[in-house]
Amino acid sequence: MTNAPGSLIVVGIDGSEASKHALRWAVRQAEQTGAELVALTAWHLPEMYGYVSRDYDVDAANMLEGVLKEVLDPPPPVTVRSRVVEGRVASVLIEASKDADLLLVGTRGHGGFEGMLLGSVSQHTVQHAACPVVVVPRPKS
């Protein structure tokens, strides 16, 4: 795939090893194509009643910052922006795909069944994204 300079790659980050691997893949693609990279994480309030005292947006921002520090050391020679968005993960990624030239997700994030090939988020984005989607497989052990 060849993206023109000025193009945009979006990668979904949830803190899992799969999303870290997808970020590494996205950085290599951005280096080869001159694209800008957006590391995107989404959060939403759990479906429950009562008072919620946690700062989910702060937790999500801290997680994303930690992943970027871990994976992007040393800093790559590409522009990397981070975004934290409130909303359901698949919906947020699909919305972001409308402005992107490429969307990346890992095969499995947090939750779900370990043996499944694709997680629900990657399956949903593949079916509904407005741009090409790369589902980055797990790194070989």
* Contact in structure between 136 and 107 (CB atoms under 8 Å): yes
Per-residue model confidence as pLDDT tens digits over 128-138? 999 999 999 87
Cα–Cα distance for residue pair 28/25, rounded to 1 Å: 5
16-36 pLDDT, tens digit each? 998 999 999 999 999 999 999
Q: Per residue in 64-117, pLDDT tens?
A: 999 999 999 999 999 999 999 999 999 999 999 999 999 999 986 544 444 444
Nearest Cα neighbor of 105 from 26, 1, 50 is 26
Tens-place pLDDT, residues 31-66: 999 999 999 999 987 666 566 667 888 999 999 999
* CA dihedral of residues 136, 20, 25, 138 (deg, nearest 10): -30
pTM of the model: 0.86
CATH for 8-136 is 3.40.50.620
